[in-house]
């Protein structure tokens, strides 16, 4: 590790600097990885994806989330991309017209789960420092009745909107929550059709204009975990932050979409991040990744990335539907720094299983509220800690039981604002897609959730009294006996 290496091993794009001097890579390794990437045509696949070709082979669909932020008048990659963008613009225009009609409302509750919740929640949390005064968002995702109760009891229902988000219009959790919310509104003497907004696919069971104050549409070419920039995120974010802020967010994502199309490794940040990740996972055999934002605003961002990465690339079969014989996507987790330095960083420094780190930081704070204590501001202390951890992991202190050579990287932006967050969101979307292309897996389907859903239906039947099979009955008895222990 030398100063020269620090200054050489960095790349810039869409407002971010990716510093990878503290990764376990050399020029030779990067060249080797880039060679493999070319063989596997992964940048070409990115072009195909953004052009709307069928990249989700198992479901015979495009993955056109990039069309959701294509700028009007900008160069487009294909007629398919333009047509998808026109659909998105139509929805954004409708949203722009709609928002002034609900200016009297103060709160908005996003009702949706998984891809209909984690991304919008992470971005709302990241940007709520800039929210329109008096406006607030809440999230009901879980079927847990206590979550629904807590949210409903914390708002003034008369001034609250509910955005019900389900592409299929039949998600168990979301359909159930909608029923409970309608019943609560009616009990409060309110008309649900004035408070409920639907976001769903055309023709779904939810696609009934009379049930909602407004209906917005999403399409099967935008997957749930890639849908933050579609109407899935647009309604809640534009209501709370203002539509102009939402447009800045789209602009940031659009800027990173362009970066992901670049042919040169040094200019293509998501590609560089993806290949370093492949090195850690496929060559060094490291099974996990910790994403540590040095910004409390990004506290929920790792949960979004957990879905984005683990649902996309946690696959057991390749694109030809053969069982894979090599490791696919890693296990991702994370909490904000510096807090987690006082928590799980013990294991990061000295545990027997090395964990590659992705540290995210910003040079400037959001709110500008700071104080010099002992010569430095808190923001300086915050980023100083981030840089120091990266260095400490690389250098170690072998005589003190710190092995060193533990890989990390720094992703540094100027300020955690809407444009920066759009770029960060798209950075990870494309990093994940590049890794899926590299591993020859389909990052855009999710067969792994179906078996659980099927068994859940049977189990819920058993709990309702209509026992269906001895195993379910045994579990139901286990639950019954647990109720009477204390």
Site for its own copies in 199-258 (CB under 8 A): 224-225
- Given 91, 110, 229, 306, the residue binding its own copies (CB under 8 A): 306
Among 356, 339, 336, 340, smallest CA distance to 293 is for 336
Residue 425 touching its own copies (CB under 8 A): no
Q: Between 101 and 346, name the residue whose CB sits nearer to its own copies.
A: 346
Q: Which among 41-49, 201-209, 237-245, 474-482 is the span making contact with its own copies, rule CB under 8 A?
A: 474-482
- Given 83, 176, 204, 266, the residue binding its own copies (CB under 8 A): 176
Q: Which among 33-41, 66-74, 211-219, 458-466 is the span making contact with its own copies, rule CB under 8 A?
A: 458-466
Q: Residue ranges of the alpha helices (H) in 164-300?
A: 172-187, 192-195, 231-241, 243-259, 269-278
- Given 27, 39, 146, 399, the residue binding its own copies (CB under 8 A): 146
Residue 467 structure tokens = 């026992």
Q: Which value, to the nearest 10 degrees, does the dihedral of the CA atoms of residues 134, 114, 293, 436 take?
A: -140
Query: Do 46 and 20 meet the contact criterion of CB atoms below 8 Å apart?
Result: no
Residue 287 structure tokens = 């099974």
Chain positions 364 to 423 lying near its own copies, rule: CB under 8 A, are: 364-367, 369-371, 373-385, 387-392, 396-397, 400-403, 410, 412-414, 416, 419
Query: To the nearest whole angstrom, how small is the minimum distance from the Cβ of residue 398 to its own copies?
Result: 10
How far apart are alpha carbons 331 and 310 in whole angstroms?
6
Chain positions 264 to 303 lying near its own copies, rule: CB under 8 A, are: 287-288, 294-297, 303
Q: Between 52 and 354, name the residue whose CB sits nearer to its own copies.
A: 354
Query: To the nearest whole angstrom, how small is the minimum distance from the Cβ of residue 291 to its own copies?
Result: 11
Residue 340 structure tokens = 């987690």
Residue 142 touching its own copies (CB under 8 A): yes
- Given 110, 117, 245, 435, the residue binding its own copies (CB under 8 A): 117
Residue 328 structure tokens = 């696919």
Q: Between 21 and 234, name the residue whose CB sits nearer to its own copies.
A: 21
Site size with its own copies, rule: CB under 8 A: 154
CA 448 from centre of chain: 18
Query: To the nearest whole angstrom, how small is the minimum distance from the Cβ of residue 47 to its own copies?
Result: 25
- Given 23, 107, 257, 311, the residue binding its own copies (CB under 8 A): 311
Chain positions 7 to 46 lying near its own copies, rule: CB under 8 A, are: 7, 10, 12, 15-17, 19
Q: Give the chain's length.
A: 486
Q: Which among 156-164, 207-215, 268-276, 462-470 is the span making contact with its own copies, rule CB under 8 A?
A: 462-470
- Given 101, 156, 264, 363, the residue binding its own copies (CB under 8 A): 363
CB count, 10 Å around CB of 411? 21
Chain positions 49 to 68 lying near its own copies, rule: CB under 8 A, are: none
- Given 46, 64, 67, 113, the residue binding its own copies (CB under 8 A): 113
Residue 133 touching its own copies (CB under 8 A): no
How far apart are alpha carbons 413 and 154 in whole angstroms?
35
How far apart are alpha carbons 162 and 171 in whole angstroms?
16
Q: Which helix (H) or strand (E) holds 140?
A: strand 136-140
Active site positions, annotated? 311, 342, 453
Q: Which among 37-45, 259-267, 359-367, 426-434 is the span making contact with its own copies, rule CB under 8 A?
A: 359-367
Residue 239 structure tokens = 């209501």
How far apart are alpha carbons 271 and 427 in whole angstroms?
9
- Given 35, 90, 145, 205, the residue binding its own copies (CB under 8 A): 145
Task: Map residues 317-346 to x or -, x wherever contact with its own copies holds by CB under 8 A.
Answer: x-----xx-xxxxxxxx-xxxxxxxxxxxx
Q: Between 234 and 295, name the residue whose CB sits nearer to its own copies.
A: 295
How far apart are alpha carbons 194 and 102 in whole angstroms?
10
Query: To the nearest whole angstrom, how small is the minimum distance from the Cβ of residue 434 to its own copies?
Result: 18
Query: Do 95 and 230 meet the contact criterion of CB atoms below 8 Å apart?
Result: no
How large is the C-alpha radius of gyration of the chain? 23
Residue 173 structure tokens = 């959790």
Residue 104 touching its own copies (CB under 8 A): no
Query: Do 312 and 428 meet the contact criterion of CB atoms below 8 Å apart?
Result: no
DSSP class of residue 17 equals: E
* Whole-Å CA distances, 199 to 16, 39, 102, 155, 406: 32, 40, 16, 22, 44
Q: Between 237 and 292, name the residue whose CB sits nearer to its own copies.
A: 292
């Amino acid at each position: 590790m030398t100063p020269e290496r620090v200054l050489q091993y960095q790349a810039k794009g869409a407002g971010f600097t990716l510093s990878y001097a503290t990764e376990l890579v050399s020029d030779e390794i990067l060249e080797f990885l880039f060679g493999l990437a070319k063989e596997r045509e992964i940048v070409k696949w990115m072009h195909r994806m953004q052009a709307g070709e069928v990249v989700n082979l198992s479901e015979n669909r495009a993955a056109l989330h990039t069309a959701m932020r294509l700028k009007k008048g900008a160069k487009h990659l294909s007629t398919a991309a333009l047509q998808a963008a026109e659909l998105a613009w139509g929805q954004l225009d409708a949203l722009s017209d709609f928002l002034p009609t609900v200016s009297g409302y103060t709160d908005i509750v996003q009702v949706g789960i998984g891809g209909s919740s984690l991304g919008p929640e992470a971005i709302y949390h990241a940007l709520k420092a800039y929210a329109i005064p008096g406006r607030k968002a809440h999230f009901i995702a879980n079927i847990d009745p206590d979550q629904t109760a807590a949210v409903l009891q914390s708002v003034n229902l008369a001034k609250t909107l509910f955005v019900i988000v389900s592409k299929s219009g039949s998600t168990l959790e979301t359909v159930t929550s909608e029923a409970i919310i309608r019943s609560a509104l009616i009990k409060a003497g309110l008309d649900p059709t004035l408070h409920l907004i639907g976001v769903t696919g055309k023709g779904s069971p939810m696609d009934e204009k009379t049930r909602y104050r407004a209906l917005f549409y999403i399409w099967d070419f935008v997957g749930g975990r890639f849908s933050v920039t579609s109407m899935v995120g647009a309604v809640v974010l534009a209501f709370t932050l203002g539509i102009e802020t939402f447009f800045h967010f789209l602009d940031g994502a659009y800027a990173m979409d362009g970066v992901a199309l670049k042919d040169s490794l040094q200019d293509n940040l998501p590609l560089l991040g993806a290949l370093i990740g492949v090195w850690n996972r496929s060559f060094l055999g490291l099974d996990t990744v910790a994403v540590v934002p040095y910004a409390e605003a990004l506290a929920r961002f790792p949960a979004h990335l957990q879905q984005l990465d683990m649902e996309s690339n946690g696959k057991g079969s390749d694109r030809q539907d053969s069982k894979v014989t090599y490791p696919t996507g890693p296990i991702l987790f994370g909490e904000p720094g510096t807090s987690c330095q006082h928590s799980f960083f013990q294991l990061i420094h000295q545990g027997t299983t090395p964990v590659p780190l992705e540290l995210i930081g910003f040079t400037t704070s959001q709110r500008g509220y700071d104080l010099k204590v002992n010569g430095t501001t808190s923001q300086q202390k915050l980023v100083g800690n981030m840089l120091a951890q990266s260095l400490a992991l690389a250098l170690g202190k072998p005589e003190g039981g710190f092995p060193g050579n533990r890989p990390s990287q720094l992703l540094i932006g100027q300020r955690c604002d809407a444009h920066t967050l759009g770029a960060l969101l798209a950075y990870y979307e494309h990093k994940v897609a590049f890794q899926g292309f590299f591993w020859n897996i389909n990052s855009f389907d999710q067969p792994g959730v179906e078996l659980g859903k099927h068994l859940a239906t049977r189990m819920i039947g058993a709990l309702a009294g209509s026992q269906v099979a001895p195993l379910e009955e045994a579990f139901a008895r286990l639950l019954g006996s647990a109720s009477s222990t204390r």
